[in-house]
Structure 1
Amino acid sequence: MRRLESVQGRLIKQRLGLSKLSHNTALLKALNIKKIEDIVNRNVLSLYSRIVGVESPARRLMQHLLSRFIFYGETVPGRNNAG
């Protein structure tokens, strides 16, 4: 995610003719550009909401993964959060 945000800032600075040393956070805020992380999080929540709203194999998979997370604390089967 950091790499995408870095590329986003670099491209904006390049397009505006600004120095590479300009700070991305201040620039994005001044231009009212949303962070990539915020956009991805919003889209993931929207997708999750649409998946659980319709009976489908994707919904059953999401329910399975959620139950594993609740029971074992795992986000990916066979791996723990420390890895």
Structure 2
Amino acid sequence: MAAQFIRQLGALKVKEVPDFLARKLSAENVTRNATTFMEEYRVRYINTGSPAPIFHVLGGVFTMAYITCWPAEYRHMIAAREGKH
């Protein structure tokens, strides 16, 4: 589903993007797609007893931690670089 969205977005001219996003990212479409995704995820991973959801949560937590810590680490890197010159 996401690959199709990206392909459609890539085929547009820049001036067509706002209208495309307004159609695709309406509250109704987002709700419907999120519900469909969660149902497919439940059938594929949760109902089968797969350990994949644990890894998905761990990956999500790691990613969020990295995103929230990155600005401070970047500031430290810049300060260290400027201090060496």
Taking structure 1 as the reference length, what is the TM-score of the superposition? 0.30
Larger helix proportion, structure 1 or 2?
2
Query: Which one has the largest radius of gyration?
Result: 2
Q: Which has the higher contact order (CA 8 A, sep 6+)?
A: 1
